[in-house]
A and B are shown apart, each in its own frame.
Chain A
Amino acid sequence: MKKKIIDALNEKARAIDRLAEGEQKTAEALGGPPAMPQGCTTIFDTGWETNPRPTYPTGNCQSSARDFHGCAGDCWWPAQVPDGLTNHSDFDVACPNIARDWRNLKYE
């Protein structure tokens, strides 16, 4: 049984409470299935894209969409993009060009 640790004290809070009734969990920490795919850290390059520049371009890849396939295909960032080695090895079929095809991205 869910332990109630806070109580709604006014009508607005009670309305929010009612909205949450029957709500199921929608996010899960890494560790449950699907398990972290093998091969996510192939080499020692932590911080490769930590950009040291003080001026433009100050971010990492410009734009981030241009790095999407690189991040996904070899499973660099499996929490943020489809992991291309285990669970979504053919996601590029629907999205070969991310800037054009991103609306076709369908993965959980």
Chain B
Amino acid sequence: MGGGVNSSRSLGSIDIFASLSAEEAKSMTFSEIFEKQFPWYLSLGMSYDDFWNNGDPMLCKYYRQAEKYRRKRVDEEQWMMGRYIYESIGALSPILHVNLSGKEVHAEPYMNMPILLKIEKEAEEKERKAKEEQKKQMAFMEMFASQWNKKWAETHPAEDTKTETDNK
């Protein structure tokens, strides 16, 4: 695909966003630009009719934006896949070594839940613990305040009466 793609937007030799740069478009007629870009938009899933006969200029921008999201999602999925493979090899590593000790070696069990679910559960657990801690602190503060008030009332009975009288 054609494309004024700068280095930050390319992945090896693969053009990630093949739309044109303004510089490149300068020397071309509008028709040439359309002809050059049409296959790229077809590859993004845009129909012939939408490209050539739909007058809404925003449509192409939305297709490009959607492609960026699609690339990001695929990248995340591939990263996750790599993470699973990495974890799996790690779990198997005890039995991959040459065992000279004579001891019986077992592979570690595979993860008991998907990574994202695990992250979610850990976050929930953290939140639950934080709430519990907050409750404990509140209870302590209430107890402390009640004890303080009680002690104050015992040690300052006259002042309370005086204030009441003064107010009257």
**Do A and B belong to a common assembly?**
no
B residues adjacent to A (C-beta < 8 A): none
A residues adjacent to B (C-beta < 8 A): none
